[in-house]
Amino acid sequence: MTTAVYVHPVEGFGTVTVRPVEPGHDAPLLHGWVNEERARFWGMTGTTVEQVREIYAHLDSLTTHHGFLVSLDDEPVALFQTYDPRADRVSECYEALPGDIGVHVLVAPGTTRRPGWTGRLLSTLIAFSLRDHTRIVVDPDAANEKAIARMVRAGFELGPEVVLPEVDLPEVFIPEKKARLAFLTRR
């Protein structure tokens, strides 16, 4: 197993561990998560286990984009991705600055949750992201009202609604996406 890059005990919540995705090992688990209807905004519904493995193997080959498996007390609870916005299509929609980091988060289905659970997990992932960066940018699907509301509750300031352009490379295809940008600056 890959070594954790971040371990953070949260009083009354548990220990959050962030480790790089291992494409060969984690693809079956992630496949189950990204293929649920609730994950449709993640854009991977209809993929096979092998396609999920290939997507995360490609992501793993990049120096600008990273996939992480997040666990709470050793139970996988989220898929978390970070990226340098200057090396991503989002930079075509806003002025990406040095110190910016882009993130995507997908909370696993079926995890035992209690009031404040997602907020506490997100707070830990924000702390992880802002260790070496000054601002986080998120770009949830503009129709994903639940994700947008969650980001606002976490302290993000809403930015413009934009259209992220299609990416069509030999390694990956990402369709055009109508997104709502939001930003959180380290205090």
pTM over the 0.75 mark: yes
- State what percent of residues in the chain have pLDDT above 70: 95
Q: pLDDT tens across 141-154, in order? A: 999 999 999 999 99
Indicate whether 180 pLDDT > 90.
yes
Rounded Cα gap, residues 58 and 88, in angstroms: 14
Indicate whether 113 pLDDT > 80.
no
3-class SS letters over the chain: CCCCCEEEEECCCEEEEEEECCHHHHHHHHHHHHCCHHHHHHCCCCCCHHHHHHHHHHHHHCCCEEEEEEEECCEEEEEEEEECHHHCHHHHCCCCCCCEEEEEEEECCCCCCCCCHHHHHHHHHHHHHCCCCCEEEECCECCCHHHHHHHHHCCCEEEEEEEECCEECCCCEECCEEEEEEEEECC
